[in-house]
A and B are shown apart, each in its own frame.
Chain A
Amino acid sequence: MTTQTLSPKTDSPRQWRQAAFAYLLVAPPLLLMLLLIFIPALQSIARTLTVDVDGQVGFSFSRYVAFFQDRISVSNLMFTFQVVFLTLATIFVVCFPLALYLRFAQGRLAAAVQILALFPLFVPGIILCYALIRFLGTRGTLETILNVVGVSGYRTPYLKPEAIIIGLVWESIPFTVLVLTAGLRQVNDSLIESARDVGANDWTIFRRIILPLIMRPVLIAFSLNFLGIFGAYTVPYLLGPAAPQMMGVFMQQTFGQYRRPDDAETQAVITFIICSLVGLLYVRTVAKQRIQQENE
């Protein structure tokens, strides 16, 4: 059945017409994407791979060599990876308990938690950043509260990598909780109860039954969050340190402040390649899910 759905048989005229109609429907958005995204992207990639020596255009990796020989570029890339992985780890540590709670708890409190978990969805990033500065910054709300309860020596994470992570985690909670909760709702109660019945405790049930069964939602949350965080701009720009920088901020500065569009382009292509690898993971996960659903 899988082969059939992946490559529809188009031998009869009616099927052929149907297929043609389907292609016609998807043609306009495909064309737009081709014109506005793929072609410029390919052009950029092509430009980063060529050098122009006295009018002589030739193939060369020199721009990439330059990027990876530049200490600041490499440290920014590494910094971006660090922030991405720490943020992702924090997101899952925060969102798994939330999603599990929302899946298994009932009543008013669960409904309230659900609304709270979705709340960041309605707050624009820039407002979030200023709110976090007022809350976490020096002499901000948190420090005031801590002083009142007698805790001194508060050191603000503002303008440190931690602030970026806090902001990005906050932004990613609604989406992650939604995806994980939806995945958990697919896990039937009796699958969990049968595991408990044969002697499994909560942790074993989570690790051996629940986690494998929601691996796809987890991969989807992982890859989409990765993409969003790797290219993040507002949060690292407003909350993060001046150096090192995340790739989004770095590109913008290279392009806008230092006026080196060629270098910015190289940075963009490197970011693009890393993100498309993760994007591939996402596409594969979704495609597998579709095939499995069709087989069920």
Chain B
Amino acid sequence: MARLDIVQLTKQFGGVTAVDAAQFTVNDNEFMCILGPSGCGKSTLLRMVAGFEAPTSGDIRIDGETIAALPANKRPTAMVFQKYTLWPHMTVYDNIAFGLGLRRLSRSVIEQKVKEALELVSLSGYEARYPAQLSGGQQQRVALARAIVLEPKILLLDEPFSSLDAILRVRLREELKRIQRRLKITAIFVTHDQEEALSLADRIAVMSGGRIEQLDAPSTIYSTPSTLFVADFIGTMNLLQATAAGGELRVGDYRLPAPAGLKEGQVTVAIRPEDVVLGGEGTGWRGTVDQVMDLGHYRKIIAQIPGVGDVKIYLSKMPDVSEGAPITLNPQRWLVYQPDAALPLEYRRAGAVEAAV
């Protein structure tokens, strides 16, 4: 229901820069994920939006109006925390009604709203329970209900499902997405779980060391990570040292065609496991199978290529490969990261098909 602008937002704790000049916009109804490793400043960024941390510099605007000077209790945002979120001395009903009561709504209006919120998170009938009588997943659903019942302009979620087990996490993730779509809430979801981010987000902001490395749709982040950090952090990636010279890339003893516009020098070649096929007589990379991991509907194989190193690939079905057997790899698509270029260059072999897995 609103648009959020983060403008050159910086937060320093003593000498530590937790968030470094973050700048982005979350559009109306957009579901934005902030993804990054532990300590990269995700929570700090979110807490500045909520009003729990004062920015060192920069601005936060909702629908064009600055909220940076407002205290947390006056901001039109609502937050779902990671844990210890519900007030243990209040029932589910009172937890959800608390914020409504502060807004001096009539009792019948509050009752109606709490009822709807509980329906939304599929917890009707749990009004009289205390938090200690709920499972972890139910507690987080109540926390979500408590946040959305206030109809916030921006919903903020700081790893709300990270203390739950894997199956429940996936279920709640789907439920959250459904609720967000239905209510058309603008939301920021912080997580260090890339699967969660890739499956939930309209766009993902990948953070590292306080900086936003890339902000794009999940598919773009995955197919074209804009920095080496993102390439390494998202999904599985083979990162190989190479030398660019004479329109070619030298990777160990092998050569790959270089993308157009590549300058000569040391570069890093990034190849997704699914962008490698078997075979390629003559030019193929010859080595041995080091490990085979059966992951159900596909297999992950680590091949040892002398002069190149370990290369991970995915195989969906036959041919049968066993550990120690010879193998020949043929990369189909790769990205080249130059030390001084802002974006990577892509090369795709003619006739290369999109990977099936």
> Which chain B residues numbered 53 to 97 have a C-beta less than 8 Å away from chain A?
71-74, 77-79, 81-85, 87-89
Question: B84-118 toward A: CB 8 Å interface, digit per residue (1/0)?
Answer: 11011100000000110011000000000000000
Q: Which of B51, B83, B89, B132 has a CB less than 8 Å from the CB of A190?
A: B83
Chain B's closest residue to A296 (CB) is B132
Name the B residues within 8 Å of A213 (CB-CB). 87-89
Query: Max chain B CB contacts within 10 Å: which of A199, A212, A213?
Result: A199
B87-A191 in contact (CB<8A): yes
Tell me the complex Cα distance, A269–B103, Å.
53
Tell me the complex Cα distance, A201–B87, Å.
16
> Which chain B residues numbered 129 to 145 have a C-beta less than 8 Å away from chain A?
132, 143
Closest CB of chain A to B69's CB: distance in Å?
16
Name the B residues within 8 Å of A193 (CB-CB). 50, 52, 72, 79, 81
Q: Which of B74, B77, B79, B89 has a CB less than 8 Å from the CB of A194?
A: B79
Name the B residues within 8 Å of A208 (CB-CB). 98
| A295 touches B (CB below 8 Å) | yes
Name the A residues within 8 Å of B81 (CB-CB). 190, 193-194
Q: A191-B87, A197-B50, A204-B102 are in contact. List 4 more A-B contacts (CB 8 A).
A: A195-B87, A199-B102, A200-B73, A296-B132
Offer 26 A-B interface pairs, CB within 8 angstroms, sorted by A: A188-B84, A190-B82, A190-B84, A190-B85, A191-B84, A191-B85, A191-B87, A193-B52, A194-B79, A194-B87, A194-B146, A195-B98, A196-B72, A197-B50, A197-B72, A197-B77, A198-B78, A198-B147, A199-B99, A199-B102, A199-B103, A200-B98, A200-B99, A201-B73, A208-B98, A209-B87
Name the A residues within 8 Å of B147 (CB-CB). 197-198
Name the A residues within 8 Å of B99 (CB-CB). 198-200
Name the B residues within 8 Å of A191 (CB-CB). 84-85, 87-88
A196-B73 in contact (CB<8A): yes
> Which chain A residues numbered 17 to 52 have a C-beta less than 8 Å away from chain B?
none
Tell me the complex Cα distance, A35–B87, Å.
47
Tell me the complex Cα distance, A43–B83, Å.
56
| B150 touches A (CB below 8 Å) | yes
Closest CB of chain A to B325's CB: distance in Å?
53
Chain B's closest residue to A215 (CB) is B89
B89-A212 in contact (CB<8A): yes
Q: Which of B73, B89, B132 has a CB less than 8 Å from the CB of A197?
A: B73
Interface size on B, residues (CB 8 A): 27
If A190-B81, A197-B73, A197-B77 touch, does A295 touch B132 (CB 8 Å cutoff)? yes
Name the B residues within 8 Å of A190 (CB-CB). 81-85
Tell me the complex Cα distance, A204–B104, Å.
14
Name the A residues within 8 Å of B72 (CB-CB). 193, 196-197
Name the A residues within 8 Å of B143 (CB-CB). 194
Tell me the complex Cα distance, A145–B52, Å.
44
Closest CB of chain A to B174's CB: distance in Å?
24
Name the A residues within 8 Å of B82 (CB-CB). 190
A199-B84 in contact (CB<8A): no
Tell me the complex Cα distance, A200–B100, Å.
10
Chain B's closest residue to A211 (CB) is B89
Name the B residues within 8 Å of A196 (CB-CB). 51-52, 71-73
Chain A's closest residue to B98 (CB) is A198
Tell me the complex Cα distance, A169–B85, Å.
36
Tell me the complex Cα distance, A204–B89, Å.
15
> Which chain A residues numbered 268 to 296 have a C-beta less than 8 Å away from chain B?
295-296
Tell me the complex Cα distance, A217–B74, Å.
31
B52-A198 in contact (CB<8A): no
Chain B's closest residue to A292 (CB) is B132
B73-A194 in contact (CB<8A): no
If A190-B81, A190-B84, A296-B132 touch, does A198 touch B89 (CB 8 Å cutoff)? no
Tell me the complex Cα distance, A253–B53, Å.
61
Closest CB of chain B to A133's CB: distance in Å?
45
Chain A's closest residue to B89 (CB) is A212
Name the B residues within 8 Å of A194 (CB-CB). 79, 81, 85, 87, 143, 146
Tell me the complex Cα distance, A296–B88, Å.
11
Tell me the complex Cα distance, A188–B81, Å.
12
Closest CB of chain B to A1's CB: distance in Å?
12
Name the B residues within 8 Å of A201 (CB-CB). 73
Name the A residues within 8 Å of B98 (CB-CB). 195, 198, 200, 208
Tell me the complex Cα distance, A198–B150, Å.
8
Closest CB of chain A to B13's CB: distance in Å?
11
Chain A's closest residue to B156 (CB) is A197
Closest CB of chain B to A292's CB: distance in Å?
9
Chain B's closest residue to A188 (CB) is B84
Q: Which 5 residue pairs are nearest across A and B when measured between Cβ atoms?
A: A198-B99, A188-B84, A190-B81, A199-B102, A212-B89
A198-B88 in contact (CB<8A): no
B87-A199 in contact (CB<8A): no
Chain B's closest residue to A204 (CB) is B102
Tell me the complex Cα distance, A191–B139, Å.
13
Question: A162-197 toward B: CB 8 Å interface, digit per residue (1/0)?
Answer: 000000000000000000000000001011011111
Question: B192-220 toward A: CB 8 Å interface, digit per residue (1/0)?
Answer: 00000000000000000000000000000
Tell me the complex Cα distance, A195–B150, Å.
13
Chain A's closest residue to B52 (CB) is A193
> Which chain A residues numbered 209 to 255 have a C-beta less than 8 Å away from chain B?
209, 212-213
Tell me the complex Cα distance, A190–B87, Å.
10
